Amino acid sequence: MSDRSRLQIDLNILDENIKKLGVLAPINEILFMVKANAYGHGMLHLVDFCLSNSHIREFGVATCGEARQLREIFPTEHFATYVFSDLALEQNRDFYGQGSMIPVISNFEDLNIFLIDSSYKNVPLCLKFNTGMNRLGFELSHVEEIISMMRVRGRSSIHHLMTHLSSACMPATNKRNVGQVEAFKNIKNAFEAGNISLERTSISNSGAIEQGLGLEETHIRPGLMLYGPSSLIKRYRSRSNWQGRTVSSLMTRILQTFPIKKGTPIGYGASPCPSEGLLAILALGYGDGFSTHFEGAHLFHKGYKGKIVGRVNMDMTHVLFPLEAEKDIRPGDQVEIWGHDKEGILRFAEETGTIPYEIFCQLTPRVPRSYNLKQSMMFKEDDHGKKLAY
Ligand SMILES: Cc1ncc(COP(=O)(O)O)c(C=O)c1O
């Protein structure tokens, strides 16, 4: 490994996870959430893999910029990209108007633009409702007005009606989950009573899918679970039916090791070393997305348990191993921060008081992503023969 650190992505595991998801949710179409660079895994590589190797043809991103990037790199492939939060409808009307990029509309201002602007005439209508997340979304009380606005514009169907669960990391029987599912039913009934047909519906993110919640809808919207980890909190994880494995493994290199005495000051802030041991300096720091909040967490290497000590710096992290590790742990060793087993990343997230979503997403571009399967995607060339990089 010539790089100091590397995120190794095993696309065979993604393939396995997609197949396992098909067993958990056999009748549902998958809208795969690939926003934030596919949760840090490389959106273009993963979408490319899905288009060539799976039946997934619907993807979810947060911004119009992410959707444009997908369309530019895969101009001729048939797939739909849902843009969830940063729609920029006025600035991107031509782009949306080409079809296959679907804005998820969640307020009247955007709905007005969408229904009135002729560029959107042939763009599928997708509406998101707030049933308890209290973030973006229409309310049940808005249904009547939405129906009249649709009628004026000659629309009698909704391509995709959705809501989002706030507490899918909790048991399916939790009152918030039960309440949101119930509220979504009422919204669907209200549209159907107004003779609006619902072509697609969805409610479930990973935590819900793992527990079989919301599978009566046509679609599911998994993110985290396809990258591997369960999104249920530890206390309730036994309720999860998810057996996925972690697609990525974060590897780094030991730059140097030396024995150290208790109390010796370490790095910025000169934190006193908590005990005698072998100090290993890892080539990973917050410049790679390895946060200062990870201080105190444990790592395992060659059977020894190490602890992150001192302040994580921009390029390096200090890990204290027992002194007897001196005979085995050497500069140049590759250390796994998390691996493909399903527990590693979850344990690390729990220990550091964060969530796998954030750990994945915050890895910076300095950490190269490597893929074990050859991609079908060829870099495209523009009119001047310039490669369109990704
Ligand atoms: C609207 C929506 N649906 C689905 C998901 C996927 O969630 P998860 O990664 O927990 O499966 C997200 C992620 O934030 C989302 O915002």
**What are the tens digits of pLDDT across the range 173-212?**
999 999 999 999 999 999 999 999 999 999 999 999 999 9
Question: Tokens 């209508």 belong to which residue?
Answer: 125
How confident is the prediction along the chain (390 residues), in pLDDT tens digits per residue?
457 899 999 999 999 999 999 999 999 999 999 999 999 999 999 999 999 999 999 999 999 999 999 999 999 889 999 999 999 999 999 999 887 899 999 999 999 999 999 999 999 999 999 999 999 999 999 999 999 999 999 999 999 999 999 999 999 999 999 999 999 999 999 999 999 999 999 999 999 999 999 999 999 999 999 999 999 999 999 999 999 999 999 999 999 999 999 999 999 999 999 999 999 999 999 999 999 999 999 999 999 999 999 999 999 999 999 999 999 999 999 999 999 998 999 999 999 999 999 999 999 999 999 999 765 554 444 544 444 444
CA distances 82 to 96, 236, 369, Å, are 10, 31, 25
Q: Is the CB of 96 within 6 Å of ligand 1?
A: no
* Positive or negative torsion for Cα 279, 256, 339, 36: positive
Q: Which CATH number fits domain 11-228: 3.40.50.1980, 3.90.79.10, 3.20.20.10, 3.90.650.10?
A: 3.20.20.10
Which pairs from 69-73 meet CB under 8 Å and 24+ separation?
A: 69/43, 69/44, 69/390, 70/43, 70/44, 71/95, 71/98, 71/100, 71/101, 72/380, 72/388, 73/44, 73/377, 73/380, 73/388, 73/390
State both tokens at 118.
């002729």
CA of 313 to the centre of ligand 1 (A): 31
C-alpha 246 – ligand 1 centre gap (Å): 17
Q: Is 205 in the pocket of ligand 1 (CB under 6 A)?
A: yes
In sequence order, the 6+-apart residues with CB closer than 8 A to the CB of 350 are: 234
**Cα(318) to centroid of ligand 1, in Å?**
34
Q: Helix, strand or coil for residue 25?
A: coil
In angstroms, rounded to a whole number, what is the distance separating the alpha carbons of residues 241 and 169? 13
Name the pTM for this structure.
0.94
Dist. CA 88 → ligand 1 center (Å): 20
Q: How far is CA 82 from the centre of its chain?
A: 14
Report the distance separating Cα 241 and Cα 378, nearest Å.
37
Dig out the tokens for 306 from the structure: 């190490």
Q: Where are the domains of the chain?
A: 11-228, 248-339
Tell me, which fold does domain 248-339 have in CATH?
Lyase, Ornithine Decarboxylase; Chain A, domain 1 (2.40.37)
DSSP category for residue 113 = H
DSSP string, 128-189: EE-SS--SS-B-GGGHHHHHHHHHHTT--EESEEEE--S-TTS-TTSHHHHHHHHHHHHHHH
Torsion-angle region of 140 (φ positive above 0: left; ψ -120 to 50: alpha; else: beta): alpha
Residues 333, 334, 335, 341, CA torsion sign: negative
Specify the residue with its C-alpha closest to ligand 1, atom 2.
164
Ligand 1, pocket-test mutation among 29, 164, 201, most atoms within 8 A of CB: 164
